[in-house]
Amino acid sequence: MRVLLVEDDQPIADSLRRGLVRYGYEVTWVRTGAEALDAGPADMVLLDLGLPDVDGLDVCRELRARGDVPIIVISARADEVDRVVGLEIGADDYVSKPFGVREVIARMRAVARRVRPVADEPAGAPSPDSPAGGRLVIDRRARRVHVDGDELALSPKEYDLLAFLADAPGAALTREQIMEAVWDAHWFGPTKTLDVHIGALRRKLGDAAVVETVRGVGFRLVVAG
């Protein structure tokens, strides 16, 4: 899926772009409304309202007048009026800053399911209720996890962590990638919280799946057959 990211804040754009690329999206990043309107075809638009040249709402209105490309507004404007106006002029969803990469991707998938078949999601993107492999099954629609048919009692962050690791079973993911995806790029708490949640997952998964430590890198999920 080709994503047009319209965002003037470079740190936010860099973080979001890295996350999207990791999930298989092809990202074109522009900083202004003029660049957004001149950009090539896209399958989805992530549009900030605080652009340096024009109001993002005007860009949203023009993009909608040109076609039916899905548009998700990402903005620091949390006022209800801006939300309502954005949705009324054609945005498909509205996400307020600060946000996590996983939240944006979840919103994108939800919008994509409404406007096109799930089959059009990026190659390799996990289906909402697909098995992670072997004895472990992750129901992404319901945010529930089962091992050998029995449901695991996971906290919200434990679920998010497991779901992220299961997106690329066997792949070594860095601590930075995991913290950014699960706890947000702007997390300022102790990174030891990751180790605590990894320990909890290991206890609950038993031998159905192993969260291995990759020395000097991070962690990877190995699912038992």
In this prediction, residue 34 carries a pLDDT of 96
In this structure, what token pair is assigned to residue 143? 């945010």
Residue type, 74: I
Cα dist from 196 to 173, 190, 202, 224, whole Å: 17, 11, 10, 22
Share of the chain above pLDDT 70, in %: 84
Instruction: Write the DSSP string, 161-218.
Output: HHHHHHTSTT--EEHHHHHHHHH-TT--S-THHHHHHHHHHHHHHTTSEEEEEETTTE
Range in 31-35, 72-76, 148-152, 175-179 the model is least confident about: 175-179
Return contacts of 26-30, CB within 8 angstroms, 24+ apart.
26/1, 26/2, 27/3, 28/2, 28/3, 28/4, 29/5, 30/4, 30/5, 30/6
In this structure, the number of other CB atoms found within 10 A of the CB of residue 117 comes to 8
In whole angstroms, give the CA distance from residue 202 to residue 135.
15
74 is written with which tokens?
């990402």
Angle between helix 10-22 and helix 101-115 axes, rounded to 10 deg? 60
Region 191-202 average pLDDT: 87
Give pLDDT, residue 82.
66
Q: Per-residue confidence at 143, pLDDT binned at 50, 70, 90?
A: confident
15-22 average pLDDT score: 86
Query: Residue 81 has what pLDDT?
Result: 67
pTM for the whole structure = 0.56
Share of the chain above pLDDT 90, in %: 36
Count how many residues are written for the chain.
Answer: 225
39-84 pLDDT tens trace: 999 999 999 989 999 999 999 999 999 988 999 998 877 666 666 7
Query: How buried is residue 203: exposed, middle or buried, by Cβ count under 10 Å (0-12/13-18/19+)?
Result: exposed
